[in-house]
Chain A
Amino acid sequence: MRATFQPCVRSRRLGPRSAPTFLFVLALACASAPTARAQFDDDGAPADSSATPPTGYGSADSTGTSAQTAALGLTVEPKAGVKANVAQFTYYSDWLTTVNLARAAKATQTFNWSRDEYRKQDKTVENRKGGLNYNFGEQLPLVTVIDGSWNWSEDRTTNSAGFANLYKVDNKLVSLSASRYKFMGLGLLHSAKLGANFTDQASLNQNQRNDFREGTASANVQSGWAPARGVIVAGRLGGTATDGTRLLAGLTSPSSAYGDSVGIGVYFNRGIGTGFIQMSRSNFERKYLEFRRNANGLIDTVGVREDEKVVNELETKDALTLNFEHTFRIGRLRGVTKASHTTDDLSYAVGVSGLKERSADAANLTVTYDAGNDSVAVVYRYGWRWDDQRIRAATSSRGRQYVQERDFQVNWYRTLFEATKLSLQYHEGLTQDIAEKRFNENDKDRLQLDFSGRVERLWAGRLRSAMVFSYRQSEDASIRGTSSSNNNRKDSYELTPGYTWYLAPWFTLDQNYRVYIQYTDYLFSYLPTVTRLDDYNKRGDLTTKVTFVPNQRLTITIRHDFNRRFNAAKTTEDAAGSSFYDRNLEQDISRIDLDLKYIAAPGVTLEVGTYRTRDDKTSIGRTTSETRTDSGDLVVGSRVDRSWGAQQQFQVSAMVKKINAFGPSVTASSSDYWEADVWLKWLF
């Protein structure tokens, strides 16, 4: 999160008494939402209570405000529609009722139904959802919302072997949240949120039940203080508790989850620039029924006795996050520095995977400079992270798996002269995988180097031309001898001239030519045990596009791609070091597209599109083979967007297309189908 606030400027406008209040508000808005998310990434329950308090309070407040301005009354919006594509048909209907009440209170009721029928699979899915929401508005001193929801779904699938499965879920949830935003106490500005919910879920999958009934209570408080001008200190404290019972595959057991988090942040906007330092720490403990898992955390119940397939798991997690960000500006020079450190330990008391530890450090430095016609940006990134694991009952850890990343980029933009621009980019990045104590053989480095340049000119407003050159080198190196035989370096060169010519208001010609060549050098190809041959690949691609707009109703686009490519493998190298290659593949691909769009009436558009591709391939080896394949499609359709009534109460939206396709990879279900999205809506 970037502290891009400018309290000094604002405080002058608001006056000295307003400044601390404004700073508090900004501090609370910036306070530790991302770190809270990091803490509870894997468990939804604590995150609900602590991750989003500043924005959550804001939105609750704004909901009340918007409700305040809405007129009292009842609105009903039924909607029904159908969708179709190559994979499935979907039929759906929605119902929304809104009641605006006195003192900004608002009640909404929703009902949604949908049914999916799959074309390529023996599968149907039906969903039913209902919801009731009541926002008390200004009827209570706290912003209070009660929610009730019901989600029901049935997924019936029969796979290609004839195995039929029913996956069924019936979930009911009721929740209450109450919050108060920005209130003073003990010289500090506070925000507080309380929440409670109860969930009752029953589900069935592969004839095994997985049910739970759980209640959760949570509380979250934030406080802010401004000890000096341009400096804010904000703290946060949160906790959550869940209790209930779970049933899994015939076994019933109590379940629970307890979590707490604490965070503090210092935000500054002084002569040294703007920025913040944040720290947060959290932990949780969760007891639940779980299928037996192996050392990698994968469910593994094959061959296990029935009464040992489900275990009572105890999961604990501790996390720490530190974040720093600083932005400065000196004249035309601007810099941003970001740094972070996170750790988390995840432990399973029963699961074989035992204790998992993770740590990550990251740094990011960006410097930009504007000088007249030039603009230069330099970015350097560094990342260092590791994970480790101690299998349950093991005497020592596995060893750390490190990943180290470095990335460097320079961009330079320059206006060479009138209407002519140059842009250059250089990038280099190295990623390294390192296994501590060589616990695996997968150490590897990947180096990427890119350089590209582009010159663009606009000629008298009628012709735009561009030339692009790029060079790219990538090197994949497995460090260990057991897997280094494919280590290679690829050098790629690309040259792309092109232009767009606006010949007339109704006629545009666009043409690009791209030539691309890549050399692959296998680093150990000189060894007799390595059979890889160095090679090169070359491709030329000419694209021509013509657009006609004869009138405001009709647009016609014609596009042609001609593509020629060669592959060749290195055969010999002479004493002088010259390499000789033999071609082993030649291929020509030609494709033509035609698109036509016609506006028949306001809100009504007709569309036609078609393409044809011809692919000629010659494989050269001991015997030469030639193949030709053809493919294409025809799409005919229309779009309608209309509404009727004095207040547009009736709305219709329809997109319908018929697709016919042919080609070697087109199956029966893809050769003839409809694409559609049609719905009807009524407001009263």
Chain B
Amino acid sequence: MAQVAVLMRARVMRAVMAALGCLLAGGCLFAPRVAEPPATGEIVRYLEQLSPADVWDNLETSAEATHAPGWEAAISQTSFTYVPDDAAENQYPGVFTGWDRERELSFINALYNSDVTIVARMRNLEFVVPPSSGSESLWEGVIYDVTVTSGVDASTVRYRGSADITFSLEGNFWYISRWVDLEPESDPVSGQLLSTMGVLRGNFASK
């Protein structure tokens, strides 16, 4: 019996040593690059995500600075779903199936990397932010307005839509766990019907 136990311990040790070897090899491969110190006057200021409003307003900051980490930090790491409005779904059928955090991050990086400048107003002035209660908060009918200008051909496309947004308290911070686009909204000045961000997402996800 003692011999068997010794043999078992040896096997376990070999397995542990192999695992540690892999860990060490892994450590060498996982060193991030050294970042440049921040340049003066280009500071992107985010709010701590202590309330749903902080999270939503950080999207605006992220979009205007085309700084993807800010958008990524607002999206829930445990569960995120995006549901498009019918108009976006009809324009890009099937593209939004299973739209999760990974696809949202892929979208926002593709958008920001495509030489664009963005002007964003993520909530309309009339929207009354409900105080958060418990560990989940729902914003119904918030209207966002995002204008994307291409640096290549200087063309400008505006997206405006109403959405239901669900925020979840995970750990100590709030995150967006569900984004449901309800319908496209009109340009307040010209009255022209605009598209929701579902069309923007669909465009970058389908190519």
- Residues of A that sit less than 8 Å from B by CB: 42, 120-121, 123, 125, 155, 157, 159-161, 163, 165, 167, 169, 205-206, 294-300, 302, 346, 352, 356, 369, 371-374, 376, 378, 380, 391, 398, 401, 406, 408, 410, 412, 414, 426, 428-430, 432-433, 435, 439-440, 442-447, 449, 475-487, 492, 516, 518, 523-524, 527, 529-532, 535, 537-539, 563, 565, 567, 585, 589, 591, 613, 615, 627, 629-631, 663-667, 669-670
Contact = CB atoms under 8 A, between A and B. Distances in A.
B76 interface: no
B73 to A, nearest CB: 7
7 contacts: A159-B186, A408-B23, A408-B26, A476-B69, A477-B32, A516-B171, A615-B134
Contacts of B59: none
B171 A518 contact: yes
B133 A483 contact: no
B156 interface: yes
B109 A589 contact: no
A430 B35 CA distance: 15
Contacts of B141: 120, 160, 667
A615 B132 contact: yes
A445 B86 contact: no
A539 B67 contact: no
Contact of B11 (A371, A391, A629, A667): A371
Contact of A430 (B30, B150, B153): B30
Nearest to B173: A537
A627 B131 contact: yes
B22 A408 contact: yes
A120 B140 contact: yes
Given A163-B186, A440-B113, A482-B42, A298 B157 contact: yes
A518 B23 CA distance: 24
A376 B18 contact: yes
Chain A interface helix/strand/loop/mixed:
strand
Given A169-B90, A430-B29, A589-B135, 9 more contacts: A159-B185, A159-B186, A161-B185, A165-B193, A294-B157, A295-B115, A537-B172, A563-B135, A567-B50
Contacts of A412: 15-16, 19
B66 to A, nearest CB: 7
A401 B113 contact: yes
A529 B184 CA distance: 40
A299 B157 contact: yes
B104 to A, nearest CB: 15
B69 A167 contact: no
B22 A378 contact: yes
A63 to B, nearest CB: 24
B133 A346 contact: no
Nearest to B109: A433
Name the residue in B72, B148, B183 with the highest tally of chain A Cβ atoms < 10 Å from its Cβ.
B183
Contact of A567 (B8, B29, B48): B48
B87 interface: yes
Contacts of A205: 87, 90
A206 B135 contact: no
Contacts of B23: 408, 410, 426
A302 B156 contact: yes
Chain B interface helix/strand/loop/mixed:
mixed
B138 A665 contact: yes
Contacts of B130: 664-665
Interface in B110-141: 112-116, 130-135, 137-141
Nearest to B87: A167
A417 to B, nearest CB: 13
Contacts of A169: 90
A565 B67 CA distance: 29
A492 B172 CA distance: 11
Given A157-B183, A535-B48, A567-B48, A445 B113 contact: no
Contact of B67 (A478, A479, A585): A478
Given A161-B186, A408-B30, A485-B43, A295 B153 contact: yes
A485 B40 CA distance: 10
A271 B49 CA distance: 57
Contacts of B155: 294-295, 298, 300
A613 B134 contact: yes
Contact of A664 (B16, B18, B131): B131
B29 A406 contact: yes
B74 interface: no
B15 A516 contact: no
A159 B183 contact: yes
A163 B32 contact: no
A26 B116 CA distance: 49
Given A537-B173, A631-B134, A428 B27 contact: yes
A670 B86 CA distance: 21
Contacts of A666: 138
B67 to A, nearest CB: 5
B12 A374 contact: yes
A478 B26 CA distance: 22
A665 B194 CA distance: 27
Contacts of B39: 481-482
A449 B42 CA distance: 29
A346 B33 CA distance: 32
Interface in B5-49: 8, 11-12, 14-16, 18-19, 22-23, 26-27, 29-33, 35-46, 48
A575 B11 CA distance: 49
Contact of B42 (A42, A483, A538, A589): A483
A447 B30 contact: yes
Given A352-B152, A442-B66, A445-B32, A476 B73 contact: yes
A167 B86 contact: yes
Given A372-B8, A442-B112, A631-B134, A483 B157 contact: no
Given A294-B157, A481-B36, A439 B207 contact: no
A486 B140 contact: no
